[in-house]
Amino acid sequence: MFIDEVRILVKAGDGGNGCLAFRREKYVPRGGPSGGDGGRGGDVVLVADEHENTLLKFRFNPEHKAERGRHGEGSNRTGAEGRSIDVEVPVGTIVYDEATGERLYDFTASGQRFTVAHGGKGGKGNARFATSTHQAPTEHEPGRPGEEKRLRLELKLLADVGLVGFPNAGKSTLISRISAARPKVADYPFTTLEPVLGVAQFADFRSFVVADIPGLIEGAHLGHGLGIQFLRHIERTRLLAHLVDVSEASGRDPVRDFETVMEELASFSEDLVKKPMIVVATKMDAAQDPARPAALRSLAAERGLAYFEISAVTGQGIDVLKQAMAESVLVKTAE
């Protein structure tokens, strides 16, 4: 199951209490105060892990608590520090403070670490309060409480190219042809129920990541179909590939399909429709009426968008499209 948003509780360890003690040993007159300090509480640290790809585990384990510091002891012994804990999250996770809505951290690379809750400081023992005029202090401090926060974790997959379009427009088939990803492909709408990532590779070891999200339909921003809940996963992409089915079997107008999806993208975020985009006419092997791809080609020209025609069945245009995607995203990466 793919989960991309969860709420969790993190609690750093409390500091240990300072100790109230006096040194009482044979042959040691006036031993004086000997209460040690409490140990510091452990931290809660979030760590980006490239092997994690969903937030599912947090649904079953929403609370993460570090160890508290041990109390101070006599003979000026300081309590041990509490053990900190590392909590692994997928690369692409954004951390929000649920109470304030503040964005605390954005994990964009594997190995990044962020201390989200700091442990409490240990309290001072009575030995700390001894002075020349106050030689038998009974004062000692309790440990400070560790930070406690309720967080909202939101996962946005990291990809170079995002595939958008109506259900059954051929997105899953395309990603299976240009990468090693094997999403479910079937002849009915909403075959893709969750985002899928694929890595497109070349013989010279260049590669880029493609994200396939569930198809959009008219009214998706109102919750129709699968809604627009997965569009966050293409917000980080450098290029959008807008796939449009031009075959007669769809029973829809390709130009209207394009405009509908653009409206749904805009309803989610104006930044999405401003991203670099290419238009891809799919299922050309089944397009008997040349006017349908021609109308889409004209629309792309009017908007100044690159236009490609492909057929995943025959392989028509697949290599050209893959090369065009690479030239767009890899050049920008190099810059």
The pLDDT of residue 179? 86
Cβ neighbours around 190 below 10 Å, total = 13
- Given this model, what pLDDT does residue 45 score? 98
d(CA 249, CA 286): 8
Tokens matching residue 309: 């025609």
pLDDT of residue 188: 43
Using CA atoms, how far residue 269 sits from 105, 221, 321, in Å, is 21, 11, 26
Domains observed in the chain: 1-155 (2.70.210.12), 161-334 (3.40.50.300)
Residue 334's pLDDT is what? 44
What pLDDT, on a 0 to 100 scale, did the predictor assign at position 29? Answer: 75
Give the number of C-alpha atoms closer than 13 A to the C-alpha of residue 30, restricted to the C-beta side: 3
Q: Which parts of the chain register pLDDT below 50?
A: 186, 188-190, 333-335
Which pLDDT score, from 0 to 100, does residue 333 have?
46
Rg of the chain on CA atoms, in Å = 29
Q: What is the pLDDT of residue 7?
A: 96
State the pairing for strand pair 113-117/44-49: antiparallel
